[in-house]
Structure 1
Amino acid sequence: MLKGAQNKLEYYLKNNKRYAVNIVSKLIEIPTVNPPGKNYEEMVCFLEKECRKLGLATKKYVTPKDVLNKFGVRYGSKRVSLVADLDAGAGKTFHINSHYDVVPATDKWITDPFAAVIKGTKIYGRGSEDMKGNIASVLFAIKALKKCGIRPRINIQLSFTPDEEIGGRTGFGYLAGMGFVKADYAMSEGCSGNHVSMGNKGVLWAEVEILGKSAHGSTPHKGVNSFERMNMLVNEFGKLKNKISKRKTRHNMQDGVSKSATFVMGGFLEGGIKVNVVPGAVKFSIDRRLIPEENISAAKKEIEAVIKKFNARHKDSKVSIRFISQEEPAISGKDDVFFKVVSDAVKIATGKYANFSVMPGATDMRYFMWKGIPSLGYSASGGKKWHSDDEFVYISSLIKTANVYALVMKDLA
């Protein structure tokens, strides 16, 4: 890397931080709450104007109704995505994705969640850390490159997409699946500081139903108590849970401790209609998180084997399962050059060596990772209050994150 260019970028970013502060404030003040998905068109209109000010060519995409219906999205705004390109005339493209939707806010905030309140070194507001701060940093990075006269040697493509907070299938998942975005390398939200995410666990959600037989509470022998059968089944699943929890990924984890596969029961629980009725039906949920070394097919078979064995032993009740969501684990395609460029950028911006790790949760980068595209996650940080009351982002982190993205854009080729 050229020291002169590095110093110019750092100087510009530190002395023009008002741009990033203004952008993130305006983004927060457009309440793109999901569900149901509000103000999406207003958000894309604002982002398109900002991208064009930076000299980017833009194009909008609307997710069609049949795709929305397929994934149960029947409410809120049009699902509008924006793609913006900076053509360097290169053979390769570096793609940066950002989602602009945010989760709802409670009435427990100390500030107005959609007013972008600045207190000292922090900007409070829903989405400040997840992930409107990152949008501001990425735009700031491009502005810095232009103002410093630095021309990237790789094409830069940005995407701003909805619905990440409900799985991303009707946002970035749609764009990636249709080939409307392209990438040889990609980045999106993820870890922060000197931590860079390179993958995420998989998820398998299921609803289990136990059918027994209702009866009057005074004559329980005439029925089959589905609640008691559920307890027996939960004990059997507990054995599987113990087996699963011993599996640990070889990869570093974002929090340093979530290396195990997990199996959680009872997040959702339903059953019984009245105190004096033997319950004839009970339902409960399973939330299974897969480490990168596992796969959905094998995880399903393990669960189904427990149910099959249970049904064979208890013929007077019936257990069934419905898998309601499934996402394979995702891990970045390996590219030594890309990883080194990002690692060097993080070291320059933060003063610390980069630590690559896997996230327990998922981001929209998985849609590129599943295609084998080298994809990493890096974000502006606050108090790690994603989805919580009083979410904020540090102004200093907006600057450092912009520096990381600017350096990566400068040095990738």
Structure 2
Amino acid sequence: MTRTATDAVLTESETRVLALLSEKRIVALASALIAAAGENPGGTEDATVAVLRAACDAHGIVTAETEVAPGRPNLVATLAGGAAPGLMFLGHSDVVPAGEGWSWDPFTPFRTGDRLFGRGSSDMKGGLAAIVLALAAIKEADVTLAGPATLFCTVDEEDLGLGIRALTAAATAAAGIGSFTACVVAEPTGLQTVIGCRGDAYIELTVQGKSAHSGRPSDGRNAISAASKIIALILADHARLQASQDDLLGAGSWNVGRIEGGDGTSMVAADCRVWIDRRLMPGENPHEIVAALAAQVTAAGIDGGGITVTFEVTMEMPGFRTSALDPVVAQAVAATAQAGGGESTIGGWSAACDGGFIDREFGVSTIVFGPGDLNRQAHQIDESVSVTELLVAARVYALLCLRLVGEVIV
């Protein structure tokens, strides 16, 4: 049977499942995942996956690994159920580099009061622990779901998205990812129900010119000068985009993050490379955006005459938007209140996440919901997460399984 979001009283099964969730167990698993590190770039997610898989195996949750690159396995963990559509959870095993300036070893987690500290505590080892223990509680309570509850944990989310792209490619080749009623991405939203995210693309601009002595610059073709003209086009397009704001997601945006070129002050620069970030609105295609920019470059007469311009999209993460009327949204809001998390507001997210691939490639209704603070903790020095939020998130994940998938009543 399935539950509606307006049901105010927990069922007997829901009460049993929630009673099995404890702060102690969630903190222990989250701490083990934090200690496993997995900094990216670095390609070392295998230790985190090993901890995650061991926890799943201990609770009778079936696991399978697929190696995306050496030492970088995607993990699929499934709590088996009946033949009905299931519920998908999506997470990632990597963390951003710890960096300098920490008050302690970032991979030696510890708890003080309601805070669990360590790199990845918010983004997103805490969310992974909450998912696994939610599924474990359903198993321990001897509740059989009408369909599966499956965690897809990918590598390389924090860099180039190799894991999610491998997952979607393999699923497409196998005629689908399975039947799911919804997808919950366990990124840190502070228990807000996020129904839309902008996407992201990395674009590399390469300009090739001709070197010459700076005393006679007309003998050469200055690649840096040409690149600066292209950057001016990018900045103008950024301003154009900001003039039209979406109520939920704002607008697409450009950011020039890095530039290098030339060989010396007294030489005309023969080459220049620029690394660009383009935030995408749902439905935007970065390859079409680059083609339009390239056409502007040609129309402005920037390329040609000894200047060669090339663009390459090196990373793409699509945006998505789920209707506020979708059942997963109402259920997440209701479950948060009943799980002790108060009111879960519905909103959009400034960051990008792997959920856009699930929405675009498989048409599965997707939300982002998880413990932790994106803006004040994720990717920050001395990162931490609220233990109360970890417990509430696990309760919400369990309730979503029971209500969106339903249970088999014997």
The one-letter code sitting in structure 1 at the alignment partner of 2:146 is R
Q: Secondary structure at the match of 2:158?
A: helix
Q: What is the alpha-carbon distance in structure 2 between the residues aligned to residue 172 and residue 230 of structure 1?
A: 33
Q: What is the alpha-carbon distance in structure 1 between the residues aligned to residue 240 and residue 232 of structure 2?
A: 13
* Shift of residue 226, structure 1, vs aligned partner: 3.4
Answer yes or no: is 1:85 the counterpart of 2:75: no
* Shift of residue 112, structure 1, vs aligned partner: 1.0
Deviations 1:90-140 (A, max 9, x none): 321112122112222123111111111212211111111111101111122
Answer yes or no: is 1:157 the counterpart of 2:150: yes
* Shift of residue 39, structure 1, vs aligned partner: 5.6
Q: What is the alpha-carbon distance in structure 1 between the residues aligned to residue 283 and residue 66 of structure 2?
A: 35
Q: Secondary structure at the match of 2:399?
A: helix
Residue in 1 aligned with 2:58? Answer: 53
Relative to structure 1, is the Cα distance of residues 27 and 219 closer, same or farther in structure 2, using a 3 angstrom cutoff? Answer: same
Q: What is the alpha-carbon distance in structure 1 between the residues aligned to residue 126 and residue 102 of structure 2?
A: 19
- Please show how residues 289-300 of structure 1 align to structure 2 within 5 Å: 289-292=279-282, 294-300=284-290
Deviations 1:205-230 (A, max 9, x none): 32333344322222334334333343
Residue in 2 aligned with 1:372? Answer: 363
Paired residues of 2:45 and 2:93 also in contact (CA < 8 A):
no
Q: What is the alpha-carbon distance in structure 1 between the residues aligned to residue 308 and residue 366 of structure 2?
A: 41
Aligned residues with identical type, % of pairs: 25
Relative to structure 1, is the Cα distance of residues 389 and 412 closer, same or farther in structure 2, using a 3 angstrom cutoff? Answer: same
* Shift of residue 328, structure 1, vs aligned partner: 5.8
Relative to structure 1, is the Cα distance of residues 325 and 198 closer, same or farther in structure 2, using a 3 angstrom cutoff? Answer: farther
Answer yes or no: is 1:321 the counterpart of 2:307: no
Equivalent position to 1:3, from 7, 10, 32: 10
Q: Secondary structure at the match of 2:241?
A: helix
Q: What is the alpha-carbon distance in structure 2 between the residues aligned to residue 280 and residue 45 of structure 1?
A: 48
Residue in 1 aligned with 2:227? Answer: 230
Q: Secondary structure at the match of 2:251?
A: coil
Q: What is the alpha-carbon distance in structure 2 between the residues aligned to residue 54 and residue 122 of structure 1?
A: 26
Paired residues of 2:210 and 2:270 also in contact (CA < 8 A):
yes
Q: Secondary structure at the match of 1:164?
A: coil
- Please show how residues 125-164 of structure 1 align to structure 2 within 5 Å: 125-164=118-157
Which one is further off, 140-149 or 47-56?
Answer: 140-149
Residue in 2 aligned with 1:337? Answer: 327
Q: Secondary structure at the match of 1:215?
A: coil
Q: What is the alpha-carbon distance in structure 2 between the residues aligned to residue 221 and residue 178 of structure 1?
A: 53
Relative to structure 1, is the Cα distance of residues 355 and 299 closer, same or farther in structure 2, using a 3 angstrom cutoff? Answer: farther
Q: Secondary structure at the match of 1:23?
A: helix
Q: Secondary structure at the match of 1:166?
A: coil
Residue in 1 aligned with 2:26? Answer: 20
* Shift of residue 400, structure 1, vs aligned partner: 0.8
- Please show how residues 213-224 of structure 1 align to structure 2 within 5 Å: 213-224=210-221
- Please show how residues 154-303 of structure 1 align to structure 2 within 5 Å: 154-169=147-162, 171-179=163-171, 181-184=177-180, 185-250=182-247, 252-253=248-249, 259-265=250-256, 267-292=257-282, 294-303=284-293
TM-score (structure 2 length as normaliser): 0.85
Q: What is the alpha-carbon distance in structure 2 between the residues aligned to residue 246 and residue 124 of structure 1?
A: 40
Relative to structure 1, is the Cα distance of residues 118 and 78 closer, same or farther in structure 2, using a 3 angstrom cutoff? Answer: same
Q: Secondary structure at the match of 2:84?
A: coil
Paired residues of 1:194 and 1:350 also in contact (CA < 8 A):
no
Q: Secondary structure at the match of 2:260?
A: strand
Q: What is the alpha-carbon distance in structure 2 between the residues aligned to residue 161 and residue 210 of structure 1?
A: 35
Paired residues of 1:380 and 1:401 also in contact (CA < 8 A):
yes
Q: What is the alpha-carbon distance in structure 2 between the residues aligned to residue 236 and residue 60 of structure 1?
A: 45
Paired residues of 1:295 and 1:328 also in contact (CA < 8 A):
no
Residue in 1 aligned with 2:4? Answer: none
Q: What is the alpha-carbon distance in structure 1 between the residues aligned to residue 108 and residue 341 of structure 2?
A: 33
Paired residues of 1:111 and 1:117 also in contact (CA < 8 A):
no
Deviations 1:126-184 (A, max 9, x none): 11111110111112212333444544333212233322222332x23322321275341
Q: Which runs of 5+ in 2 are unaligned?
A: 1-6, 406-410
* Shift of residue 234, structure 1, vs aligned partner: 3.1
The one-letter code sitting in structure 1 at the alignment partner of 2:23 is K
Q: What is the alpha-carbon distance in structure 2 between the residues aligned to residue 172 and residue 78 of structure 1?
A: 16
Q: What is the alpha-carbon distance in structure 2 between the residues aligned to residue 44 and residue 405 of structure 1?
A: 20
Equivalent position to 1:113, from 88, 99, 106: 106
Q: Secondary structure at the match of 2:195?
A: strand
Q: Secondary structure at the match of 1:190?
A: coil
Equivalent position to 2:388, from 364, 372, 396: 396
Q: What is the alpha-carbon distance in structure 2 between the residues aligned to residue 297 and residue 372 of structure 1?
A: 21
Relative to structure 1, is the Cα distance of residues 213 and 157 closer, same or farther in structure 2, using a 3 angstrom cutoff? Answer: closer
Paired residues of 1:151 and 1:410 also in contact (CA < 8 A):
no
Paired residues of 2:85 and 2:147 also in contact (CA < 8 A):
yes
Aligned residues: 389
Q: Which runs of 5+ in 1 are unaligned?
A: 69-76, 254-258
The one-letter code sitting in structure 2 at the alignment partner of 1:139 is V
Relative to structure 1, is the Cα distance of residues 285 and 389 closer, same or farther in structure 2, using a 3 angstrom cutoff? Answer: same
Q: Secondary structure at the match of 2:186?
A: strand
* Shift of residue 7, structure 1, vs aligned partner: 4.8
Residue in 1 aligned with 2:402? Answer: 410
Relative to structure 1, is the Cα distance of residues 314 and 376 closer, same or farther in structure 2, using a 3 angstrom cutoff? Answer: closer
Paired residues of 1:56 and 1:85 also in contact (CA < 8 A):
yes
Q: What is the alpha-carbon distance in structure 2 between the residues aligned to residue 225 and residue 34 of structure 1?
A: 35
* Shift of residue 343, structure 1, vs aligned partner: 2.5
Q: What is the alpha-carbon distance in structure 2 between the residues aligned to residue 328 and residue 162 of structure 1?
A: 14
Q: CA RMSD in A?
A: 2.6
Paired residues of 1:94 and 1:409 also in contact (CA < 8 A):
yes
